Amino acid sequence: MRQHFYSRFITLGGLNLSERIFMTSSIQSIRIQKEPGARLVDDFVVVEEPLEIRVEGKALAVTMRTPGHDKELAAGFLFTEGCVDGADDFHAIAHVKDPRTEGENIVDIRLAAGTRVDPDRLASAERNFYASSSCGLCGKSSIERVMQHAEPVRPVDVLDADLLAALPQKMRAAQEAFESTGGLHAAALFGLDGSLEVLREDVGRHNAVDKVLGWRFLQDRVPVDDRILVVSGRAGFELVQKAVMAGIPAMAAVGAPSSLAVQLAVQSKMQLVGFLKGTHFNRYGIQ
């Protein structure tokens, strides 16, 4: 796997920072034995590495992710967890060298003056660095906690069936790494006219969503109340939660939604579509 380094300057909040970027492919070539026939061939797998998200040098969360667009991932995580409201809450964001590995698997965020991130405000305990894997909220209490941080989304007209049917193919056509590995989730933002704005891939479906929403956040274009979020897998509660926190009015999933995801979408006035495959799909929350 080829690795490249280069330096550049970024500016946030008026601060210029020299940033040394570690560029690595999201896929890795490995030698495998292919059956039948016991043939030795080269194949590709998705790269998966931990990313530690820090705020003012203090570890807040760790997630297993596919390297690339890490600053978007960190920004999107804080945004969709209800910790920050806009790009002006950030003073700077940069990779930090990890002495334990050859890569740069830490992103540190410096906050603007007067901004504070409280870990207790995290809308989801699943990836909270300070919570054990057995922690978490469920059912009605989960929805109530999300709604403490997010208003119902701004409704849009019911999405046209033909427009929805075309979205998965457009998304798949833009998935470069998936074609080589078959092992990446994707999330994409589409305009209400069906035009693709941005797509990100990651081994984790929640990371892919954080990356696309972080992309919008760092451009100071939030809430994301003028886009459709499309995901390549199922629509679990955590993904719908992130969409609600971002103000997204419509979400479509290639896979199935969960009962809690449907409840949250209905309460938030979000249009939710599942099993989106060609002209066949389900609309949820219809009375």
> Out of 135, 158, 161, 256, which one is annotated catalytic?
135
Residue 287, pLDDT score:
55
pLDDT of residue 128: 42
What CATH number should be reported for the domain holding residue 169? 3.40.140.10
pLDDT averaged over consecutive 10-residue blocks of the chain (287 residues)?
36 41 60 88 85 92 92 96 93 87 84 85 48 41 76 94 96 76 85 97 94 97 97 94 96 96 94 96 84
Residue in 255, 256, 242, 252 with CA at minimum distance from that of residue 214: 242
Q: What pLDDT does residue 251 have?
A: 98
Q: Which of 140, 157, 173 is the last residue of a domain?
A: 140
Q: State whether 120 and 170 are in the same domain.
A: no
Same domain, 26 and 122: yes
Say yes or no: 56 and 85 in one domain: yes
Helix pair angle (140-149, 259-267), 10° resolution: 40
Instruction: Work out whether the CA dihedral 203, 208, 211, 212 comes out positive or negative.
Output: positive
Number of domains in the chain: 2
Both 101 and 123 in a single domain? yes
Q: Which amino acid is at 27?
A: I
Of the candidates 149, 200, 14, 150, the one whose C-alpha atom is nearest the C-alpha of residue 90 is 14
What does the pLDDT read at residue 19? Answer: 37
133 and 160 co-located in one domain: no
Domain boundary among 96, 115, 140: 140
Supply the DSSP string of 24-48, one letter for each residue. E-SEEEEEEEETTTTEEEEEEEE--
Question: d(Cα 239, Cα 80) in Å, to the nearest integer?
Answer: 10
**Residue 81: exposed, middle, or buried by beta-carbon count in 10 A (0-12, 13-18, 19+)?**
buried
Give the CA dihedral 11, 14, 15, 19, nearest 10 degrees: 0
Q: Are residues 40 and 99 in the same domain?
A: yes
The residue behind tokens 């999107």 is: 76
Residue 97: predicted pLDDT:
84
- 257: cis peptide before it, omega within 30°? no
Backbone angles phi, psi at 264, to 5 degrees: -65, -40
pLDDT recorded at residue 101: 65
**Domain interval for residue 164:** 148-284
Helix runs in the chain, H state only: 70-80, 140-149, 161-173, 176-181, 205-218, 237-246, 259-267
Q: Distance (Å, rounded) from C-alpha 105 to C-alpha 103?
A: 6
Report how far residue 217's alpha carbon sits from residue 212's, in angstroms, rounded to the nearest whole number: 9
CATH number at residue 37: 3.10.20.10
What would the pLDDT profile of 160-193 be if each residue is shown by its tens digit?
A: 999 999 999 999 988 876 666 566 899 999 999 9
**C-alpha atoms less than 13 angstroms from C-alpha of 203 in its C-beta half-sphere:** 16
Residue 138 annotated in active site: no
53 with 25, same domain? yes
Same domain, residue pair 130 and 10: yes
| pLDDT score recorded for residue 118 | 74
Domain end call among 105, 140, 175: 140
67 and 124: one domain? yes
pTM of the predicted structure, to 2 decimals = 0.82
Q: Is residue 66 domain-shared with residue 155, that is, in the same domain?
A: no
Position 28 scores a pLDDT of 80
In this structure, are 230 and 256 located in the same domain? yes
Residues 126 and 98 in one domain: yes
